[in-house]
Amino acid sequence: MSEGKESSLLVYFEPGELIFAADEEGHHAYIIESGQVDIFVTTTGKDVSLKTLTQGDVFGEMAVIDASPRSASARALTETCCVVISRAQISDRIDASDPVVKLLVSRLLDHIRSLNTGVSQAARPTAPEISSEPSSPFLPHQPVLEKMRLESELLDAIATDAFIPHYQPLVDLETEEILGFEFLIRWKSPTRGWVSPGLFIDTAEETSLIRPIGQWVIENACADLNRFNQALSRSFVASGKPRTPLFISVNVSARQFQAPQFNQELLEILQRHQIPHSQIKLEVTERVLMEGASAINIIQQCRQLGFHLALDDFGTGFSSLTYLAKFEIDSLKIDQYFVRQMLTHPRTLALMKHILAMTQDLGMVSVAEGVETQQEFDILRRLGCQIGQGYLFGKPLPFESAKNLLLENYRRPSAPTGPLLSSNGIENSVPQQTGSRV
């Protein structure tokens, strides 16, 4: 592998192959998946081993962190497979760290480099023996390395377009018409199988990866919205039945929302696909609103451009009524916790009544998440909730299954009396996680 080129997810080395040499510029660090690696310095024509590394160990990180030349060389002792970690992955974390942590890291690197240089200059047969015992794969740093492995796989997934769009219906509780879909991202890793969205989205949100993933979501949402609209147009020509314009809701992270070029990138994607702004709804969490004045400005810009904004997961976390007073939010998505608890907890039911009444008084659209039973559906409709989302109406489905569900709902002569999936048997083969964002 060339140190000067971007790498793929995994790289393989033959026994005796030099991975990198001292004094080279370092562009990557490595996590050993299998095999053994010797870290050594060369003095008077002889190689002096500093450490033998094995599965789970990380090496080459020093030159990536401080952009200094490599202080030692690395060679594969056996057939070796490594996960590649880019400079950007590490620098993101260093840049975001506390200044004291940065200082300590800098001093630690200086100390290690000084030791390596000392060994190189003073190596002799009587030099103290350096332990070559491999590091234990069960040391506390393993969770951190596992997260970095996942991040490297996410980088590869972005590069290979490995994510799979899924759509969960949003239903008018009065007419039971599918008004739109929420875009939900799914990922089947070649090594892990189906990965929980909660796991990989959290990892992406901790880094800059959420931005390219977010762009991918909006790009695919617009492309598939056109495909949904084309299917509905054909049905309209056949039936003459009028139809409310379909919309797709997409989750927008705080990192995306606060990026200076977010609005411009969003507009360019919609223009490219010829999608009206009103047909893409942006869902944000309270984390975005906690940014204060900057969030107010961004929200105002989005609304001026014609975008519909929804506050997701309302009622949990740091919910505050001041957000509803300060921010011009168009709809409120009530967290599934309230839907689940209102049947058995009178206090929760009372809260649900007041939340829905408040939403109506503020001129906002009310959306209930996690609707799974007919009883929940009946109570929500009776309380005046406008839109429902949950397994009662449909699980997150890949495009073709979602399209079939939409067309079946569209062709019904009148509102159905039971769950929308009661007769068509459409099920999603992907393991589901309710309430997964993005």
> What residues have CB less than 8 Å from 25, skipping those under 6 apart?
3, 4, 63, 67, 69, 70
Length of the chain: 438
How confident is the model at residue 117, as a pLDDT?
60
Between 122 and 35, the more confident residue is 35
Q: Quote the pTM value.
A: 0.73
Q: 101-110, 112-121, 364-373: lowest mean pLDDT where?
A: 112-121
Q: Rounded mean pLDDT of 86-115?
A: 69
- Greatest Cα pair distance, the chain, in angstroms, is 93
- Domain containing residue 185: CATH number: 3.20.20.450
Residues 321 and 256 in one domain: yes
Query: pLDDT tens digits, residue range 23-65?
Result: 898 888 999 999 999 999 988 888 999 999 999 999 998 887 7
Answer whether residue 291 is part of any domain: yes
Helix and strand tally (H, E) in the chain? 15, 17
β-pairing, 280-284 vs 247-251, is: parallel
How confident is the model at residue 120, as a pLDDT?
54
Answer whether residue 325 is part of any domain: yes
- Domain containing residue 86: CATH number: 2.60.120.10
Quote the number of domains for the chain: 2
Answer whether residue 422 is part of any domain: no
How confident is the model at residue 436, as a pLDDT?
45
Query: pLDDT tens digits, residue range 160-217?
Result: 999 999 999 999 999 999 999 999 999 999 889 999 998 999 888 887 889 999 999 9
Backbone angles phi, psi at 83, to 5 degrees: -85, 135
Residues 132 and 220 in one domain: no
Between 415 and 56, the more confident residue is 56
Answer whether residue 421 is part of any domain: no
Answer whether residue 146 is part of any domain: no
Instruction: Give residue 190's domain range.
Output: 161-411
β-pairing, 163-172 vs 280-284, is: unpaired
Query: pLDDT tens digits, residue range 264-275?
Result: 999 999 999 999
Answer whether residue 261 is part of any domain: yes
Between 361 and 7, the more confident residue is 361
Answer whether residue 150 is part of any domain: no
DSSP 216-269: HHHHHHHHHHHHHHHHHHHHHHHH----PPPEEEEE--HHHHHSTTHHHHHHHH
